[in-house]
Amino acid sequence: MVHRTIRVGGLTRVEGEGALLVRARDGRVNDLQLRIYEPPRFFEALLRGRAFTEPPDITARICGICPVAYQMSACQALESICGVTVDGPLRDLRLLLYYGEWIESHALHIYLLHAPDFLGYPSGIAMARDHRAVVERGLALKKAGNDLVAAVGGRAIHPVNVRLGGFHRLPDLRGLSERLEHALTLALETVDWVSGFDFPDVEHDYRFLALTHPDEYAILSGDLPGFPVDEWPLHITEEQVPHSTALHSRLDGRRGYLTGPLARYNLNFAKLSPRAREAASALGPVCLNPYKSIVVRAIETVHACDESLRILDRYKPPDAPTVPVEPRPGVGHGASEAPRGTLLHRYRIDDDGLIAEADIVPPTAQNQARIEDDLRVLVEPRLGLPVPELTALCERAIRNHDPCISCSAHFLELCLEQ
């Protein structure tokens, strides 16, 4: 009988703090835990009793990598309670802001966190010693995304311009088209570059969750597969597990579904922008290899640049930066596509216009069980490998899903203390 325990103390090149524990016996994995030890920050509880206008600014602080996602899901959930729809040029500005975050986050992940795995470097900075021009291209692409977020939102991290009903001020978009034309070129080069990587021959039979929209490669709004956004609490449930400060999610009672770029790509391929679809011709409409998520991210970056250019082209400033939003009591749901997957929010506003309940399900928490499944498949046949090698393989498999562990630490059971 051979016992083996593998501990990966601190996961690197992921956003946030996590660890992995694998227990095996006689060549079989008995227990595999992706441990989230990110200290919990209790956002849903902090929000209770605060004004209904506050969640966009407060929940942005859950994640410095994807604050726009939090702001968008929060705004839409709260606006739905107040009976407000933000559309036309204001919705376009929201899309623009969100595409900026996709470009920035995807470029960060592709170049600084994920690509080093394929080329054998410990970091993007180390990779730059041999591939300086490539890393500089990645940084330039990331900067274009950050510039877009800053132009619309005021700053790249925790933008200040977002509010319920729209924006505090209409942004100045001059000069962005030129920047994004250049970014589009860089994004297309990125697709070519990452497509040439050597990918392990792996495919998983994923169950996908992503927003779908009749006219768009959904990012800001749409339906979830088989149910509308406001029914998400009926389909997505959460359970606490001892080894993690993040709660695990189940979709229609079953654990282990996947949200994120692969889910979006497989469900919504037909809605990609023309340039993005062209860039995706080599990969094709179906991609079940998690390692190739780096290619999907690059294609999504092309899409984000392409769509941003289209919006900039058609944008006509509206008369006012915001539509009025008056509080009313009720429950509302919001969902949007964060760079790393579907981000679900639910709020209840009380009679005084204060937040009575808040419920946030971030993408990484939803993916946590599925990532463990990926790892189980990876580890079991390779238990004989030396520990450092196996560790590196596991870390790499986790990075495929761009987990943002900072966010995973903030979420809560649906049944709240009353």
Which positions make up the binding site for Mg(2+)?
44, 360, 410
> Using CB under 8 A, which of the segments 24-32, 89-97, 140-148, 226-234 binds other proteins?
140-148
Helix, strand, or coil (residue 86):
coil
Retrieve residue 279's tokens.
């860039």
Nearest to 326 by CA among 84, 50, 58: 84
Cβ nearer to other proteins, comparing 260 with 403: 403
Cβ nearer to other proteins, comparing 119 with 288: 119
Is there binding between residue 389 and other proteins (CB under 8 A)? Answer: no
> Using CB under 8 A, which of the segments 141-149, 216-224, 279-287, 326-334 binds other proteins?
141-149
CA distance 195 to 383: 29
Q: Which helix (H) or strand (E) is 410 found in, with range? A: none
Cβ nearer to other proteins, comparing 65 with 305: 65
User: What b/e readout covers 72-90, taking b as 16+ CB neighbours within 10 angstroms?
Assistant: bbbbbbbbbbbebebeebb
> Using CB under 8 A, which of the segments 39-47, 92-100, 280-288, 378-386 binds other proteins?
39-47
Is there binding between residue 119 and other proteins (CB under 8 A)? Answer: no
Q: What DSSP state is assigned to residue 4? A: E
Q: Quick one: which of 76, 146, 301, 368 contacts other proteins (CB under 8 A)?
A: 146
How many residues of this chain interact with other proteins, rule: CB under 8 A? 72
> Using CB under 8 A, which of the segments 24-32, 90-98, 151-159, 190-198 binds other proteins?
151-159
Is there binding between residue 250 and other proteins (CB under 8 A)? Answer: no
Is there binding between residue 108 and other proteins (CB under 8 A)? Answer: yes
Nearest to 298 by CA among 408, 384, 183: 183
Subset of 7-36 contacting other proteins (CB under 8 A): 10-17
CA distance 195 to 51: 47
Contact 96, 162 (CB under 8 A): no
Subset of 297-326 contacting other proteins (CB under 8 A): 321
Is there binding between residue 68 and other proteins (CB under 8 A)? Answer: no
Contact 322, 165 (CB under 8 A): yes
